Amino acid sequence: MSELFDAVDALVASRSVLPPPKERKRLRQAHGLTLDEVASALDVRRATVSGWESGKTEPRPPERDAYARLLNKLAELYPADSNSVAPTEDTAVPPPAPQAQPVPTDAAPEAAAMTTGQNSQTRPAVDAVPPAAAAPSRPARAARSSSVSRRPGARKAAPAGTPAGGADPRFENGPLAVVDAETDGQVLAYCTGGLVLEVPAKSLPSLIDWTLKEAKLGQPKLSGPGKDADPLLVLTEAALKRYGLPVALTQEERLAGRIPQEHKVVKQLVRAQWQLTKRGFGPWARIYRPATGSDRQCVQLCIPSWNALDSRHWGDAGQLPPAELARILSVYAARVMTPRGSTAVTGLELMTALHPPTRASEPDADGRRYSEHNPNSLGKDPVDCAPCEAPDGHPLLADLPRFHLRGPREKLIEEAYDWARPMTDAECTLRHLVGIDVNMAFAAGANGLVVGLGAPTHVKAPVFDTKLPGSWLVDLSHVDLSRVKAGKDKWADLDASLLPSPFTPKGERPQGPAWYATPTVAYAQELGYDVTPIEAYVRYDNGRYLDGWYQRLRDAYLATMADLGVHTDMEPADFLAAMDGYRAREPELTIVASAIKATVKGGLGKLRERPRGEGWKPGQPWRALSRPTWRPDIRAAVISRTRINLHRKIVKHAAFTGQYPVAILSDCVVYAASGPSPLDFLPYRDGKPLPGGFKLGINPGLVKHEGTQSVLWGEEVRERFDAPELNLARYIKDGQVTDKDSGE
C-alpha cells in the first residue's frame, strides 16, 4: 500500500502548480536568494534555475515539487497583492512579521542579544539606489554606543548572482567594504549583500586596525597552499575628506602615482608602525605590518577618485553610490578574486593565487614541515628569458648598438592580427560589412596550452616537437596558402591573395627565417608543410599553468552573462537577440562583465610588462623583471595560439563557403555579406555550424555580432583617407572614424 501512496504523491508532485517565470524570479529576489543558493538547495545546476525563471524550461520531478514548495513559502512571505512595491534588484525588501522562534545561527549578534534582553540596537536594511539616482539614500543612524551594525533584519534584494557574506566565519562580512562618510561625521562601511557596518575609526591608522580586528572582511584562499585575500577598503570622496586625504591627485602626484611621503596621513601611518609597499600611497595602496608566523596584517585600499577604477574597464563604477559600488565589486570578488589593483594586476595575481610558488613539505622525522617548490607553478624566483624573447631595452640586449633595430630573425614577434585588404569587385556588389568578434579569445587561447615553467635551454638544429613549448628559428616562407591540408589525405584550394598569412601580425608572407612560438610552427605542419628549425630555446620544464586561470575567468564571465540574460545553450537567432541591448538590462552587471574581460587581456599583458618611468634607461633592469610572473614567452605562446585558432576558422570558412575576410583586428573579423546579420554569411545547416568554423555563442572561442556597416560606408571611408587597406574592423562597431584614427 505504501508503494501506491508513493506513486500517488509522485503523480501529484509532477503537476505541482508553479507561478509564472517572472513571479519565480521576483520571489527569489524578494528573499535575497541567489541563483547559486537555489540551485544548491535543489541539487541542480545554476543554469537550470535560470532557465526556470526565464521560462525556457520547466522543472520536472522530483525537483518540481521541492521548487514549488520553496516558491509557495516565499509567496506567503512576499505576497504579490501586498500594498508594498514588488522588490527588484534596486529596492530593499521589508522583513516578514517577527515570530517567536529561536534566532538562527547566522543571525546578527545584535538580534540574538535582543532575545536575551540585552540593550542593543541594529541598523535597518539599506535601501539600494537605482543607478540613475543622483545621490545615494542613507540608512537611519544607529545608536552611537554600537561600534558595529550587523546584518539588517531584512536583507536587500541583490542582482542575480550577487554573493552574500562569506561562509568562512573569519570573513563573514565579505571580501570588501566601501567606506563613506556622512555630513555629520558618521562613517559607514557598505559590504556584501546589503550589509552596512558603522565605523568608529577617527583616523586612517585606526581604520586599518578596525578592519583587521573587528570588520571580519577578507576572502579565503583559492588554492591549498595559497594565502587568504587581504580585506579591501574602497574610500569614497567623503571618506577621503574625513581621513585627511585629498579628493584628487595633483598633476605631479598623478605622474608619480602616489601622494608624497611627507603627507600628514602617511606620517600618521608611520607613527602607528604601518608600512607601505614600494609603490607608496597611490590609488591602490597596500598598508601592512611584517607578518609574524601565520598572522598576516595587510589591508588594500582602492581610491576611485584617484582613478583606481579605470573607466575603460570599470565604466562609471567610480561614480556609483556606495551600496551599488560594493555590490559590483563583491560580485567580481566572488567570481574572480578580491581586486588587488587594476584589472591587469588582478589578472596576474589570479595566476599566482591559483598556483602559489611554494607549499608546505611533508613532515620530516621530527614532524617539521618546510617550504618547498609547488609543482606546476612558476616558482618564487624569476628566470631569464631567451634573447629573442626579450623586448627592446632588456639587459640581455645591452651590448647591441644603440639604434639597432631587431628584425624577425632576432626577435620573437608574436602579436595579434592587424590586417586588411581592398575589397574585390564581387564583394563591392554586396550591401553589408558584418563584423564578428571572438568571445574572450585570449582566454580561449590559454585553455589547455602547455607553457614553459622554468628557464629556456638553447638547442642547435633541433627536431621540432609540437608538445615542447619554446621559441623556434625556422623558415616558413615556403608555406603556400593556396593549397592547404583540410583533413587526412585531403587538400583544399584557396585564393591566397585574399587571406592573411598566419605567421605575421600584419598578415604578410614571411621572407625568410624568423622566430616563432610553438603553436605557430605546429600550425605550419598542420597545413601540410615540413618545418626544419635552425635553432630554438625550449623549456623542458612545462605544464598547463593557465588552465585553472582560464576556467575561473570563463566561469565568471558565463555566470555574469547568464545574469544578463545570455546563456550558453541558446539557438543562434535567440543568442543574437539576447546580445542585442543586453547592456541596458543591468548596467551594473555589465560593468562586471567588462572588468572580467579586461582581467584576461590585462593579466596576459602583464606577463611582459615594460618599464614605467622611474628613471629607467635602456639596458638597465626594471622592477617587473624581478617577478617570477614576468614571462614574455608565456604571453607570446597565448597570442600565437589565439591568432592560429582564428586563422584556422577563417581557412575552414573559406574552404567551405568561398568567402574571405575583408579585415581582421585582434579577435574581430569583417566579412562582406548580403544581409546585416552574421546568420547571412555563417554556414549554419539545420541549426548546426560548420565544424571547425565560426559558431555563434557566448562561450570563450565562439563568436558574437560586433557590428554592421554598409559596403558604401567602407568604400567611402577608405576613399576619404586614400587608404585602400584601412582596417575597417577597428570601426565596424559604431562606424565612427576620425582623422586621428586614420593616421592623418
Output the domain CATH number for residue 44.
1.10.260.40
Q: Are residues 140 and 57 in the same domain?
A: no
Q: Is the peptide bond before 62 cis (omega within 30 degrees of 0)?
A: yes
Residue 257 near residue 280, CB atoms below 8 Å: yes
Q: Are residues 242 and 331 in the same domain?
A: yes
Q: Which residues contact 86 (CB under 8 A, 6 or more apart)?
A: 26, 30, 80
DSSP H helices in 122-272: 204-213, 237-242, 251-256, 264-271
CB atoms within 10 A of CB 675: 13
pTM: 0.79
pLDDT of residue 137: 37
Domain count, the chain: 3
pLDDT of residue 601: 97
261 in any annotated domain: yes
Q: Are residues 295 and 393 in the same domain?
A: no
Q: What is the DSSP string of 438-461?
A: ETTHHHHHHTT--EE-S--EEEES
Q: Are residues 19 and 116 in the same domain?
A: no
Q: Are residues 285 and 185 in the same domain?
A: yes
Q: Which residues contact 709 (CB under 8 A, 6 or more apart)?
A: 432, 433, 728, 731, 732, 735
Domain end call among 543, 558, 590 = 543
Hey, is 730 helix, strand or coil? Answer: helix
Residue 619 near residue 603, CB atoms below 8 Å: no
In whole angstroms, give the CA distance from residue 310 to residue 303.
11
Q: Are residues 159 and 302 in the same domain?
A: yes
325 in any annotated domain: yes
Q: Which of 576, 702, 728 minimizes the C-alpha distance to 646?
A: 702
CB atoms within 10 A of CB 177: 28
Query: Which set of grid coordinates corresponds to residue 281?
Result: 600611497
pLDDT of residue 4: 59
In whole angstroms, give the CA distance from residue 30 to residue 553.
29
Q: What angle do CA 440, 442, 448 make, to 5 degrees?
A: 105
| Residue for grid cell 537550470 | 48
Signed CA dihedral, 54, 56, 62, 64: sign only: positive
Query: Which set of grid coordinates corresponds to residue 483?
Result: 593549397
pLDDT of residue 493: 92
Q: Are residues 163 and 256 in the same domain?
A: yes
pLDDT of residue 157: 38
149 in any annotated domain: yes
Q: Exposed (0-12), middle (13-18) or buried (19+): which is 118, by Cβ within 10 Å?
A: exposed
Phi-psi region of 136 (alpha: psi -120 to 50; beta: other; left: phi over 0): beta
Phi, psi angle pair for 518, to nearest 5° = -55, -45
Phi, psi angle pair for 49, to nearest 5° = -65, -40
Q: Are residues 188 and 239 in the same domain?
A: yes
Average pLDDT, the chain: 86
288 in any annotated domain: yes
50 in any annotated domain: yes
319 in any annotated domain: yes
Q: Are residues 336 and 262 in the same domain?
A: yes
207 in any annotated domain: yes
Q: Which residues contact 458 (CB under 8 A, 6 or more apart)?
A: 386, 535, 536, 537
Q: Which of 169, 217, 167 minimizes the C-alpha distance to 191?
A: 217
368 in any annotated domain: no
Angle, in degrees to the nearest 10, between helices 46-54 and 21-30:
120
Phi, psi angle pair for 491, to nearest 5° = -120, 150
Beta bridge partners of 665: 418, 668
Phi, psi angle pair for 418, to nearest 5° = -145, 85
Length of the chain: 744
Domain end call among 524, 543, 562 = 543
pLDDT of residue 9: 57
Hey, is 135 helix, strand or coil? Answer: coil
Q: Are residues 395 and 246 in the same domain?
A: no
Structural domain range at position 470: 387-415+447-543
Across 647-673, b (16+ Cβ under 10 Å) vs e yields bbbbbbbbbeeebbbbbbbbbbbbbbb
pLDDT of residue 5: 57
Q: Which of 723, 725, 729 minimizes the C-alpha distance to 739?
A: 723
In whole angstroms, give the CA distance from residue 568 to residue 151.
35
Q: What is the mean pLDDT of each run of 10 residues along the chain (744 residues)?
A: 57 68 86 83 82 81 85 84 38 36 34 35 36 35 36 38 66 96 91 94 96 95 92 97 96 93 96 94 96 83 97 95 96 97 97 94 84 92 96 94 91 97 96 98 97 97 97 97 84 94 97 97 96 98 97 97 95 95 91 98 97 87 96 98 97 95 97 97 89 96 97 94 92 84 46
Domain end call among 509, 543, 577 = 543
Q: What is the DSSP string of 493-520?
A: E--GGGS--TTSTT-PPP-SEEEEEHHH
Q: Which of 61, 60, 62, 69 minimizes the C-alpha distance to 24?
A: 69
Instruction: Give, rounded to a whole angstrom, the gap between the first and last alpha carbons of the chain.
Output: 87
Q: Are residues 63 and 124 in the same domain?
A: no
Position 116: which residue type? T
Q: Are residues 166 and 293 in the same domain?
A: yes
